[in-house]
Structure formats: structure tokens, C-alpha cells
Amino acid sequence: MQTNYKDIKFTGDIFRVSYRQRPTQDGNIKWLYHALKNPLKLASSLPIETHLFSKQDISLVSSGYRMINENISMEGWPRLFYHDDFSEEFLQQIWLNFRNSIIIAFELPELLKSALDRLNIPYIDIIIHPIRFLDDIVFGIRSNNREISQLLHSYLIPEESILIQAGIVMASMNRLKRLKIPGKAALFAGQTTDDKVLINNGKFHNVSDFLDELSKVADSYDTLIIKSHPYSLDPFEAISISRLFNNCITVADNFYYLMSHDNIEAVYSISSSTSIEAQYLGKEGFHFGKYPFRFTEDINEGEFQLGSFFTVDDVIFSADFWRKILAPLVTTTPLTGIKLPKKPNRIRTSLRSFWGFNFVDTDIICQLYNK
């Protein structure tokens, strides 16, 4: 048993900043740290720390931006996200900050993942899974340690469970009044303009990059529905598509409600999770760009590749999970069999993020109470 690991460090995309040059991911990293700190303390004796944003000259963030000759900025971040031509200074900063550590991350940026791989520093990377309609948020988890990846395999959520819950969501939405949508329809789902899944060749994709594809979609359906992302800083780019094609309409309705309409046959997006969800909700789902993450479900487990995400649920909040997952790296405490009781929306509420599912679940309860 290797025992030279001195701590567990929580980090994430510490390089991402807002347009006002403020860190945007420290809150998510701290959320994961506080949520997992107690289970990890129960599972092992390693100290637990965080590595957050810092723009001091000697910081990892500063060395990353120096590596690409950019100031710390939202404009520079997409250039840095996939960068893998590492400077000696940057690799040295990675080594000094993370050597002899086990990294647990909230959504690792690809450059940090690649650097940790190169230096053989183990990580467990946790992202919010793109399927957001289940009883609660679930996660994608990957590791660069093969033994840990093999252990994660046993926690996969069955595809059958996802499909059953999708049916219940659609049944609920079908109880609502139908929208008047002419003929055979497709939905184009907009995204926030600074979404990391839009990064391509050092910049963000935008709708205007895919006008030819949109034209073909518009020609294939009686109606093309345009839905801007509710949190987009620039919703007008997606809305402006409606002026280009005669059969477009714009909507602000809930995504799951829209999916319950039989004549909406497909969801198109640049790289939105809605195109993934659509495939479970009885629709076709298409990306114009490349969706950057690969998930291993139980139906394709034979195709697993190191670096793929496993789809798992709130089991990550149990100490027994970490007792098993960390066992290839450190000595862990005995299993206790204690499980976290199931509670719908626990993680959504903790994150303060519902991704539109409140329309399906909690909002209706409040409306009925008011009646």
C-alpha cells in the first residue's frame, strides 16, 4: 500500500473568471469540499484542504495565463482551457501545489487534467451530469487511476432507471394544456454564451457559426422553435435566428413541458445538455458542435475508456463509497454499511440550482398549496 499521500485537495477550474475578473468556480469547489469533507474524514485520516483561485504572481492561475501570454480574463480563459503545451513554470507550479496529494475536483479544466496526468498525480473529477430530470441531480465521475475507475464501474446508475423516471416526467407534463405548435416541429435550445462546452479552438462557438446547419433543420420541419437559455447574457443572438427563417417561433416555456408535445420530434443545440436529455424523453437529440464529455452507461460498459465519466447518484455522499474508492491509494477505515437516506431534490436544493426541474416538481406543489 502506497502511503506517501499527505492530503486530499479539492480544486476545480480555478482559471475561470467572470468578465469582471472575479473567480467563478470557488463557490462550486467549496460546495463540493463541504459536502464531502465529513464522509472523507470518516473514510481516511488524510488532512483535507482546498486549492482556490489566486492571482498572485506566484500562483498556479497566474503561471497558467503567463504560459499563453494573456491577462487573467474571461477572454483568455477559453484559450487556456484545452492548452497542453505546458511551460516548465506551469508544470513546476502543478507539482509544488499537488505533489503527494489526491485531487478531488469540481469540473476539472482540461489543461489541469492533462497536467495531472503527465505528472502522475491521481484525481477524481466530479461534474454535474447533463441528465437533470431525475429525482435529484446525479453526477459524472472519472479518475486517471485505473483501479479507482474499475471500482466506480460498480456504482453505475442503470439505464432502465433513467428511462422509467423520464416516462414519469413526461406523464406529468402531459397533464398540462397543449401549446399550438404548427405541424412537425424541432426545437433549437440556446446556451449561455460563456459555457465551457462551447469552447472550440480557443474561443466560444456562437449561433452564427452554424447558420447552414440551422437552415437545413428549418427546411426539414414545419416549425422551428427557438428557445433561448434563461440565464444567457445575450439571448438576442438565438432569438435573431427567427428573422432568418419563415417557419420560426420563439418560446420561453419550460424545456420538459415542451418535450411533452408529440409533434416536437427533435432537439438541436450547439452542445447543450438538452440534446442529451431529449434522447431519454422520446425525442431525437443532435449537437452541431462536439460535445466534450463521454459517459459510460450500463448499456455501453464494454466501451469504457479511461477518462470517461461514470454516471452515479448521491452514493458519493456516503463514507463507505470513499472507503472503497480511496482504498487503492491509502489505508481506509472499515465499512459500516451506513447509507444516506434518499430524499428528492436534496442536491438541487443544496446547490441552489434546479435547471428547470422546479417546474416539474416543486412549483406545482406550491401552486396546489396556494389553491
> Which parts of the chain have pLDDT scores under 50?
1, 298-299, 302
Counted domains in the chain: 2
C-alpha cell at 278: 431529449
Give the CATH number of the domain where residue 199 resides.
Answer: 3.40.50.2000
Residue 2 lies in a domain: no
241-258: buried (b, 16+ CB within 10 Å) or exposed (e) per residue?
Answer: bbeebeebebeeebbbbb
- Do 95 and 186 lie in one domain? The reply is no
**What is 141-210 written as a DSSP string?**
EEES-HHHHHHHGGGPPPHHHHHHHHHHHHHHHTTSPPP---SSEEEEE---TT-GGGEETTEE--GGGG
- Do 65 and 132 lie in one domain? The reply is yes
- Do 59 and 179 lie in one domain? The reply is no
331-360: buried (b, 16+ CB within 10 Å) or exposed (e) per residue?
Answer: ebeeeeeeebeeeeebbbeebeebbebbbb
- Do 241 and 223 lie in one domain? The reply is yes
- Do 27 and 116 lie in one domain? The reply is yes
Out of 255, 287, 319, pick the residue that ends a domain.
287
- Do 203 and 250 lie in one domain? The reply is yes
| Three-state secondary structure call for residue 86 | coil
- Do 333 and 227 lie in one domain? The reply is no
User: What pLDDT, on the 0 to 100 scale, is given for residue 305?
Assistant: 62
- Do 30 and 136 lie in one domain? The reply is yes
Helix, strand and coil content of the chain, in percent to the nearest 5, comes to 40, 15, 45
Out of 269, 287, 305, pick the residue that ends a domain.
287
Please compute Rg for the chain using Cα positions. Answer: 22
Residue 1 lies in a domain: no
What range does the domain containing 224 cover? 164-287
- Do 255 and 148 lie in one domain? The reply is no
User: What pLDDT, on the 0 to 100 scale, is given for residue 359?
Assistant: 86
Out of 231, 266, 287, pick the residue that ends a domain.
287
User: What pLDDT, on the 0 to 100 scale, is given for residue 277?
Assistant: 97
| CB contact set of 35 (below 8 Å; sequence gap of 6+) | 317, 350
- Do 176 and 120 lie in one domain? The reply is no
Residue 235 near residue 242 (C-beta atoms within 8 A): no
- Do 123 and 235 lie in one domain? The reply is no
User: What pLDDT, on the 0 to 100 scale, is given for residue 20?
Assistant: 84
C-alpha cell at 10: 479539492
